[in-house]
Chains A and B, each alone.
Chain A
Amino acid sequence: MLRATILAAFAMALALPAARADDPVKAAFVYVGPIGDHGWTYQHDQGRLAIEEAFGDRVETLYVENVAEGPDAERAIERFAREGADIVFTTSFGFMNPTVKVAKRFPDVKFEHATGYKRADNVATYSARFYEGRYIIGQIAAKMSKSGVAGYVASFPIPEVVRGINSFLLGAQSVNPDFKLKIVWVNTWFDPGKEADAAKALIDQGADIMTQHTDSPAPVQIAGERGVHGFGQASDMDAFAPAAHYTAIIDDWSAYYISRVQAVLDGTWKSGDVWGGFAEDMVVMAPYTDLPEDVAADAAAMEAKIRSGEFHPFTGPIHDQEGTLRVAEGERADDGMLLGMDWYVKGVDDKLPQ
């Protein structure tokens, strides 16, 4: 009898913390665009769905979309912290300072900020090495272009975007040293109308390859309508322009998101910074379609070389627009240079605001 009581007491004592562990982890996402943008935010939401699939009942996910970078962001982030979220992913650069501010007030909540550089004990950062994919599409562009001119629909002149432009052109120049790149800045991450207008203007100026650092499929769609070619951005956009779409640089956040939620479940979450590329499967190339076999094979080979670390897109000699040698022959740009990149490589037909 006594033994049974003691056992029961033990069972109760064990059951209580077990019950708490059964409470699902609440993972919340703050998105800058609509989840239906079929680009940046769509991919983050795919990561959210991957968490749900991986953890089932052990996780509950929440999200709010179309949060403007500005006075509203802080409230959206704080709302999740107040609703009892255990981990909050804020997926745009402009959410950096609001994330840090809210994190100070909620030391027990974990925050993950995409593409920023400010960290704290409960704020980690993560981003992907999109530039690895840009080098490959730059090479494809130079091989496939008849006019020798590509058009680039760009969002904001921040290092991430400038790095992508440079990597694209370095890839193209490795095939055709005289390759030209025209850029239109649309000053937005997501505005299909503006993006489409920019693409039309670039094609009218002679570009026959379209690429972009904005979130909607509009530029590659326009490329399809005009009978030229292009690439998808952030997600596989083949469905939007099947004849025009060569490949896409896909952001795959699923593995990272699952690992971070797992860490919360295990109680091992730590702040840090992850910058993953091909090697971490954070950046993935969509299937190479509508390309001659040798071009597709070369692209796949280059992908493997970057993945293994045998090749780095920013390998010297690299000169900037003024002709100054930035990366010496045979050397590689380090992450510090890449993260603060505020100069164009030689051959970019544009001026950066200084």
Chain B
Amino acid sequence: MRIELRQRTEDSRLMVWLSPLLALALTFVFGAVLFAALGHDPLRALYVYFVKPLTDAWSLEEIVVKATPLALIGVGLALAFRTNVWNIGAEGQYTVGAVCGSILPVMLPEVQGPLLLPAVLVCGVLGGMAWAAIPAFFRVRFGSSEILTSLMLVYVAQLLLDWLVRGPWRDPEGYNFPESRLFEADAVIPALAGRMHFGTVIALLAVAALAILLGRTLKGFEFRVIGAAPRAGAFAGFSERGSIMAALTISGGLAGLAGIAEVSGTIGQLHPSISPGYGFTAIIAAFLGRLNPVGVVFASLLLALTYIGGESAQVALGISDKIARVFQGAILIFVLACDVFIRYRLHFLPARRAAARAEDAP
């Protein structure tokens, strides 16, 4: 017998709902086998991984803290990817956003007042937008691939941050260690509960705004048409260049906002490593959320849960963080693989017909 994948004429509505459940089931089976092979009680391991983090307020807060930058960046990337603009450099836009947002608190620490925080956040957004505008400009002016240019600018951004915190922005009372001064109270995003801060509310507003933009407005339609069929868009009078510029700068601005929100709300100062790869993980969040703003929120929460759960498993079961990462990887593979069944269906060919077909083949 042979198995073939055949494209469906229409996406399967059933599989849209069934595929995540299937992925979840496969993940559980895989996890159970993996943990059992390592000599752990599989049920307890899965409990520690997926359920325990949801059972107390602190780890729920931590999941939200972790998901906030992912959702902010991911929702912007969803817009860009829908427009067929491949912004791989969100990590760099995040970093430059954090740097630009830190200009006031670090260089002019004596500036205080209620307007400081909004100014800090706006600077962060502008920084991210400016950084994303560079690959956007090269794409529309010279046709260079934004995949490469945006990615390479990540390294430039990281080195810029590195240079600043080791050089001009180093804390004068910091014994030469590579970190900026701590932000004063007025420059810190107020906390909601625990480490959770108002950045989460801003992220939800951004998600709502983009959901409306993409789903309900002509501009959103324009993005989608340009992404799916640029020539058709051109006939409709939509500007491809304008859409590319807008998609890149909006996603850059949101990444920049995520950067300054993380630095101001969670870390409280600049230092050389302000991101555990949020800009790259958000690419996964965007696809896992099927490039839908609301989906991105859930995908970010799921990714955050796998991180917190992985850490919880390291501590509670004493498994190595490599195993935690293998498991995280497996979850993503199952989720993305099961999505194949939305657009394709399995077709079983009996052995005889498969053989006959093979003979027909040249």
In the complex, are the beta carbons of A353 and B271 less than 8 A apart?
Answer: no
Q: Contacts of A353 on B, CB cut-off 8 Å?
A: 163, 166-167
Specify which chain B residues have a CB less than 8 angstroms from the CB of A224 in the assembled complex. Answer: none
Contact B315 A71 (CB under 8 A): no
The 3 closest A-B pairs by CB, nearest first: A70-B273, A342-B176, A68-B276
Pick from B175, B262, B274, B320 the residue with the most CB of A within 10 Å.
B175
CB distance from A265 to the nearest CB of B (A): 22
Question: Which of B276, B315, B320 meets A79, CB within 8 Å?
Answer: B315
Q: Which residue of A lies closest to B325 (CB)?
A: A66
Closest to B276 in A: A68
Establish whether residues A71 and B274, one from each chain, have CB atoms under 8 Å apart when the complex forms: yes
A321-354 interface with B by 8 A CB criterion = 339-342, 353-354
Q: 1/0 contact trace for B16-39 toward A, CB 8 Å? A: 000000000000000000000000
Name 11 interchain pairs, CB-CB below 8 A, sorted by A.
A64-B315, A68-B273, A69-B271, A71-B276, A74-B195, A74-B266, A83-B315, A94-B271, A157-B166, A340-B175, A353-B163
0 or 1 for each of B250-284: is its CB under 8 Å from A? (1 = yes): 00000000000010001111011111100000000
Cα-based distance from A148 to B312 in the complex (angstroms): 51
Q: How far is the CA of A75 from the CA of B304 in the complex (A)?
A: 13
Chain A residue numbers with a CB within 8 Å of B266 are 71, 74
Check if B267 sits within 8 Å of A70, measured CB to CB: yes
- Residues of chain B in range 59-103 having any CB-CB distance to chain A below 8 Å: 62, 65-66
Interface range for A: 35 or more
Min CB distance B88 to A, Å, is 21
The digit string for A146-158, where 1 denotes a CB below 8 A from any CB of B, is 0000000000111
Q: Does A159 contact B (CB under 8 A)?
A: yes
A64-B314, A70-B271, A74-B195 known; A159-B176 Cβ under 8 A: yes
**A159 with B175, Cβ < 8 A, contacts A64-B315, A97-B268 known:** yes
Q: How far is the CB of B27 from chain A (nearest CB, A)?
A: 22
Shortest C-beta distance, A313 to chain B (Å), equals 19
In the complex, which of the residues A62, A64, A75, A76 has the most CB atoms of chain B within 10 Å of its own CB atom?
A75
> A339, B175: Cβ atoms under 8 Å?
yes
User: Do B311 and A71 touch (CB < 8 A)?
Assistant: no
Chain A neighbourhood of B66, CB < 8 A:
75
Determine whether B182 belongs to the interface, using a CB cutoff of 8 Å to chain A: yes
Q: Are B176 and A340 in contact (CB under 8 A)?
A: yes
With A65-B321, A97-B268, A339-B175 as given contacts, are A70 and B275 in contact (CB-CB < 8 Å)?
yes
Interface centre among B66, B271, B315 (most CB of A within 10 A): B315
Interface flag for B177 (CB, 8 Å): yes
The contact of A75 among B176, B195, B268, B322, by CB within 8 Å, is B195
Contacts of B308 in A (CB 8 A): 75
B81 shortest CB reach to chain A, Å: 25
Q: Does B178 contact A (CB under 8 A)?
A: yes
Chain B residues contacting A117 (CB-CB under 8 Å) are: 175
In the assembled complex, how far is the CB of residue A120 from the closest CB belonging to chain B, in whole angstroms?
15
A72 within 8 A of B: yes
Known: A82-B58, A158-B176, A158-B177. 20 other contacts (CB 8 A): A34-B321, A69-B271, A69-B272, A70-B267, A70-B275, A71-B65, A71-B262, A71-B275, A71-B276, A74-B266, A75-B195, A79-B311, A83-B315, A97-B179, A97-B268, A101-B268, A158-B178, A159-B175, A340-B175, A353-B166
> Which residue of the partner chain, among A62, A70, A82, A339, contacts B276 with CB atoms under 8 Å?
A70
Q: Which residue of B lies closest to A85 (CB)?
A: B315
**What residues of A have a CB within 8 angstroms of the CB of B177 in the complex?**
93, 96, 158-159
Q: What residues of chain A lie closer than 8 Å to B268, measured between beta carbons?
A: 97, 101
Chain A residue at minimal CB-CB distance from B274: A70
* Mask: chain B, 306-330; 1 = CB below 8 Å from A; 0 = not: 0010011011001011100000000
Q: How far is the CA of A106 from the CA of B70 in the complex (A)?
A: 29
Q: Which residues of B contact A308 (CB under 8 A)?
A: none
A339 to B126, CA, bound (A): 39
Residues in B neighbouring A159, C-beta threshold 8 A = 175-177
Bound complex: CA of A110 vs CA of B53, how far in Å? 25
Complex CA gap A156/B271 in Å reads 12
Q: Which of B114-142 contact A (CB under 8 A)?
A: none
Quick check: is A257 within 8 A (CB to CB) of the other chain? no
Q: Check if A289 is an interface residue, CB within 8 A of chain B.
A: no
CB-CB < 8 A to A64: which residues of B?
Answer: 311, 314-315, 321
Question: B34 CB to closest chain A CB, in angstroms?
Answer: 19
In chain A, positions 183-236 with a C-beta closer than 8 Å to chain B are 187
Is A40 engaged at the interface, CB distance under 8 Å to the other chain?
no
Within 8 A of A (CB), among B158-191: 162-163, 166-167, 175-179, 182
A79 to B322, CA, bound (A): 19
Q: Is A80 an interface residue (CB 8 A)?
A: yes
Q: B311 contacts which chain A residues (CB < 8 A)? A: 64, 75-76, 79
CB-CB nearest in chain A for B265: A71
Across the interface, which residues of B come within 8 angstroms of A63, CB to CB?
315
Complex contacts, A71 vs chain B, CB 8 Å:
65, 262, 266-267, 274-276
B182 contacts A97, CB within 8 Å?
yes
Q: Are B315 and A156 in touch, CB under 8 angstroms?
A: no
- Give A131-157 interface residues, CB cut-off 8 Å to B: 156-157
Q: Give the most central of B162, B177, B271, B322: most A CB within 10 Å.
A: B177
- CB neighbours (8 Å) of B162 from chain A are 187
Interface mask (B41-67 → A, CB under 8 Å = 1, otherwise 0): 000000000000000001000100110
| Residues 323-355 (chain B) with a chain A CB within 8 angstroms | none
- The docked-state distance in angstroms from the alpha carbon of A101 to that of B162 is 23
